[in-house]
């Protein structure tokens, strides 16, 4: 059976708990926000076309990575039950 990196992290409860403590700390959140803002502020000005698109994707990628880093140790939420609309053939 193959596990994802997230599943392996969640199996190690003490590591996952420590990770949540770190990423929920005020100092981490402020540093993460500052790093992302610094990246935006240092983006070159006056670029167009493909270069502008590349800068946009760098920022979006950094934001997605940061969100993943913060949320990686969160346990998955259970999927909501799908309504069967009375189509269950096993009931009489």
Q: What angle do CA 18, 9, 21 make, to 5 degrees?
A: 15
In this prediction, residue 86 carries a pLDDT of: 73
The domain of 10 spans 5-71
pTM across the whole model: 0.74
**Alpha-carbon separation of residue 25 from 21, 46, 58 (angstroms):** 6, 37, 25
pLDDT tens, residue by residue, 3-29: 899 999 999 999 999 999 999 999 999
Structural domain contains residue 14: yes
- Say if 89 falls within a structural domain: no
Mean pLDDT computed over 43-66: 94
Within-domain flag for 90: no
DSSP label of 78: P
Q: In this structure, are residues 6 and 72 in contact, taking their beta carbons and an 8 Å threshold?
A: yes
CA distance 55 to 53: 5
Say how many domains are in the chain: 1
Least reliable range by pLDDT among 22-36, 45-59, 78-92: 78-92
**pLDDT score at 1:** 66
């Amino acid at each position: 059976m193959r596990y994802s990196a997230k599943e392996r992290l969640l199996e190690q409860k003490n590591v996952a708990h420590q990770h949540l403590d770190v990423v929920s700390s005020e100092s981490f959140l402020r540093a993460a926000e500052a790093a992302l803002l610094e990246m935006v502020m240092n983006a070159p000005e006056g670029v167009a076309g493909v270069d502008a698109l590349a800068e946009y994707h760098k920022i979006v990628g950094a934001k997605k990575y940061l969100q993943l880093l913060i949320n990686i140790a969160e346990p998955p939420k259970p999927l909501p039950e799908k309504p069967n609309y009375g189509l269950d053939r096993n009931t009489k």
